[in-house]
Amino acid sequence: MTYIMCDIEANGPIPGDYSMVCFGAIVVEPALSKTFYGKLKPISDRWLPEALQVAGFSHNETLEFDDPKSVMQQFADWIVKVNEMHRPMFISDNNGFDWQFINWYFHHFLGQNPFGHSSHNLGSLYKGVAKDMFATFKYLRKTRHTHNPVDDARGNAEALLQIKEKHGLKINFVG
């Protein structure tokens, strides 16, 4: 299985009404060298200033981003390229948010999601490993959480690698 850690930034709380403005992905393997970054033009006129502030973009900047269908096709092609004949598995630190956007965009623009119908939540995984519903994995990140989605995906991938090493998580990484 190829674990692909993803992180997204959006201009609002839900896909369709609001837009995913950028996302990053990284293959979880020791080198952490396979990354993807996409910036997407808004799909609706709705946006929340506070959401864009977190993402670090102005609304006008997002209007110059790339066509969402093109970006999603590039991402799908990248997933095939890095997948090395294994099943790709989506994982993020908040898949309730990140997954809904990636899944919606894939289905809306390409008619299918290369990840299938499943995703994993890093925070929940760590709580199970630690046997503590209040535990957080965030101290295991090496890369600072900047809201640049590639940085954030990298930090989360680093944490997953640390969970395997320090807590003996039974997981295999491609690469």
Is residue 86 assigned to a domain?
yes
Is residue 53 assigned to a domain?
yes
Domain span holding position 148: 2-167
Edge-first strand listing for the sheet containing 88-92 = 35-39, 20-27, 2-10, 88-92, 119-121
What is the reported pLDDT for 172? Answer: 82
Residue 43 is classified by DSSP as S
Closest CA to 80 of 58, 106, 99, 98: 106
Sorted by sequence, the CB contacts under 8 Å of residue 32 that are 6+ apart come out as 26, 154, 157, 158, 161
Is residue 173 assigned to a domain?
no
Angle at 143 between CA 35 and CA 164, to 5 degrees: 80
Residue 132 is classified by DSSP as -
Q: In the beta sheet, which residues pair with residue 8?
A: 23
What is the reported pLDDT for 175? Answer: 52
Is residue 68 assigned to a domain?
yes
What is the reported pLDDT for 152? Answer: 98
Active site residues: 147
CATH classification at residue 127: 3.30.420.10
What is the reported pLDDT for 83? Answer: 87
Number of domains in the chain: 1
Stretches in the chain below the pLDDT threshold 70: 174-175
